[in-house]
Amino acid sequence: MKILVCDKTESDAIVRMRAAGLTVDTNFEITPEQLPNVLPGYDGCVVRSRTKIRQPLIDVCPRLKVIVRGGVGLDTIDAEYARSKGITVMNTPKASSASVAELTIGYMFMLARNLFKASATMKAEKWEKKAFEGDEIGGKILALIGIGNIGKEVARRATVLGMTVIAYDPYVKEAEGVKLVTLDELLPMADYISLHLPKTKESADMIGKAQFDKMKTGVRIINCARGGIVNEAALFEALSNGKVAGAALDVYAEEPPTDWKLAKLDNVICSPHIGAATKEAQGRVSAEVAEKLIDFSKSH
């Protein structure tokens, strides 16, 4: 099998695939314009968040048998259409769960203790000790919207920190140590709300003005899932009028954003979609990509 790796993948995984008999080419900088001319020569491809595999590209790749996305979710691939063409589509849903969970917990501490603002004032040579009274996260209610692999990792860590964890997930019947509730029950109870679900037709804009109105004043929001699940205009309004005390964002409706006003708010801390960007997660993702492709090649 001939495989094109379109996005950064650890060299150990490339070596492992080649040792298993796969022909593997790498082009980590391939552009959308180049893909229709290059990908038709391959049986499979590996992508991350950068490279998109959409229907028009699939239509010009009749040889394509398998697409593997290194990461959680398949939103960069027209997966349903690909499968209708007999193409196997896979991802690595567990490999980066711990890294995203740790970022989520870190963000909660930053919001609770005003760490971003405190650090900024020190860099400006200001000593504003009385301005930064914060909160403990122990004893607070953490509400998870989505409790799959990542949500469960967050719940385990939050429970150890003394938080009460509740969750809404229509696809989960039970979760150890977590009380499952409806979305309407969850919103007014939460001190912190953290999102851990894919963006789908059902979840797009699921948190908008009506949902913010149901939340308690002073709630804090963390989104390390996908942009577009929280309506950004409604979030901006809620942050501006004090309904939401603070937000931590790793994902955005457009990446990179074309409108930066949300990121520039004083009560927002943000990062450029780095939830899975740890050495450990990248190693696990790449290893799982290699394993899936090697297994696929043995059965096809």
Whether the predicted pLDDT of 133 surpasses 90: yes
Please state the pTM of the whole predicted model.
Answer: 0.89
Number of domains in the chain: 2
Regarding whether 101 and 34 lie in a shared domain, the answer is: no
Regarding whether 172 and 262 lie in a shared domain, the answer is: yes
The domain that holds 253 is classified in CATH as 3.40.50.720
Regarding whether 179 and 261 lie in a shared domain, the answer is: yes
Regarding whether 227 and 129 lie in a shared domain, the answer is: yes
Regarding whether 226 and 256 lie in a shared domain, the answer is: yes
The H or E element that residue 69 is part of is strand 66-69
Regarding whether 249 and 124 lie in a shared domain, the answer is: yes
Regarding whether 221 and 162 lie in a shared domain, the answer is: yes
Spot the catalytic one: 226, 232, 284, 288: 226
Spot the catalytic one: 80, 128, 255, 280: 255
Regarding whether 104 and 28 lie in a shared domain, the answer is: no
Residue 107, domain extent: 97-270
Condensed to tens digits (0 to 9), the pLDDT of residues 243-286 reads 999 999 999 999 999 999 999 999 999 999 999 999 999 999 99
Regarding whether 15 and 131 lie in a shared domain, the answer is: no
Regarding whether 152 and 54 lie in a shared domain, the answer is: no
Cα 130 vs. chain centroid, distance in angstroms? 35
Query: Average pLDDT in the 292-300 region?
Result: 93
C-alpha 117/C-alpha 97 separation (Å) is 28
The residue among 12, 54, 14 whose CA lies nearest residue 4 is 14
Whether the predicted pLDDT of 43 surpasses 90: yes
> What pLDDT band is residue 49 in, cutting at 50, 70 and 90?
confident
* Count of C-beta atoms within a 10 Å radius of residue 243: 18
User: Are the C-beta atoms of 108 and 83 separated by less than 8 Å?
Assistant: no
| Percent of residues, the chain, with pLDDT higher than 90 | 92
Condensed to tens digits (0 to 9), the pLDDT of residues 149-188 reads 999 999 999 999 999 999 999 999 999 999 999 999 999 9
Q: Is 226 a catalytic residue?
A: yes
Average pLDDT, the chain: 95
> What pLDDT band is residue 80 in, cutting at 50, 70 and 90?
very high
Regarding whether 78 and 101 lie in a shared domain, the answer is: no
